[in-house]
Amino acid sequence: MEGILRPIYQERASHPNTLGVLTIEKNQHSIPTTDTFDTVLLIIVSEAEQPLFVKHYTYEGKKAALHIVTEKKLREWILLGSNRRIFDWLYNGKVVFDRNEFLAELKEEMKEFPFYGRKIKMGLEFAKLIRRYMDGKAFFENQHYLDAYNHVIHSLHHLARLSVIENGFHPEVTVWNQVKQIEPEIYKLYVELVNSDETMEKRLELLFLASEFLIYSRTKVGIAHLIDVLEEREYWTFNDMITHDELVEYSVDLGILLEYLIDRGFINVKNVETKGQGVFHRYYFVAKKLS
């Protein structure tokens, strides 16, 4: 189908703001990263009116998808892991245009996975992990076992992704294949939860016990980015945090992460009087440096 799409990407490649073009073909024997399309055409541009533009085509019974994405949006996907297919597309796609080796340099950067980028990704995954774990535990304690199971499954996925990032790799769509090699202990926990013959209640009970240690052992690496930011000031309001450029992506998970860290002594609370009697503002500060 590349011959049919060639005029499309050649026309785009002539634009001065086009940085790179890749084609991704559907492989019947691999994971479905093309969303059933026979071909995906990925065009990366320096800027555009909208960060992502998608168009679908059909030709002789086949389907193709054109994705035009800005460099800023692409880097956001890479940093936040919000489009996991992008790693497969960039690693395995066929480069048909590469202005000034933009794609070659991007792939090399991804391979090296700068430590700063890793710290942010680990922080975001850890926050999601704590959210799912705490919510799952609350459901379990209230005997809502199926809801607890759902949250625990998600928490293990975040724990798996955190482990992969910690080891210097980008989590892929098939993250459990990665984890099986990197952290067999987490993989075993996941398999036992899914395949065990124990009752749902017993499975969850055992898993919460095992997860507690695995989560705590990764707390320092998981909160390193957050603590780095919080050490910039003596005290923070919660609104200060959620509006800070480097913390805004923690989003709805920041509140529960903060309470988790208060319980474990990483963050302290300072109460400041308000005009209302007996009502205090809560200010937060780092209790101890990570060693």
Residue ranges matching CATH 3.30.460.10 in the chain: 2-111
Q: Is the pLDDT of residue 291 over 70?
A: no
Q: Is the pLDDT of residue 259 over 90?
A: yes
pLDDT of 1: 58
Residue ranges matching CATH 1.20.120.330 in the chain: 115-286
Which of 181-190, 228-237, 272-281 is the least confident region? 272-281
What does the pLDDT look like over 71-103, one tens digit per residue? 999 999 988 888 888 988 998 899 999 999 999
232: three-class secondary structure by DSSP = coil
pLDDT of 106: 94
Q: Match domain 2-111 to its CATH number in 3.50.50.60, 3.30.460.10, 3.40.50.1000, 1.10.10.10.
A: 3.30.460.10
CATH of domain 115-286: 1.20.120.330
For the entire predicted model, the pTM comes to: 0.83
pLDDT of 110: 86
Q: Is the pLDDT of residue 192 over 60?
A: yes
Q: What is the CA radius of gyration of the chain?
A: 23
- Average per-residue pLDDT in the chain? 90
What does the pLDDT look like over 271-285, one tens digit per residue? 988 888 888 999 999
Output the DSSP codes for 71-111: HHHHHHHHHH-S-THHHHHHHHSEEEEEGGGHHHHHHHHHH
Q: Is the pLDDT of residue 173 over 80?
A: no
pLDDT of 113: 78
pLDDT of 28: 63
pLDDT of 96: 93
What does the pLDDT look like over 11-66, one tens digit per residue? 888 899 999 999 999 876 566 788 889 999 999 999 999 999 999 999 888 899 99
Q: Which token pair is 22?
A: 């890749």
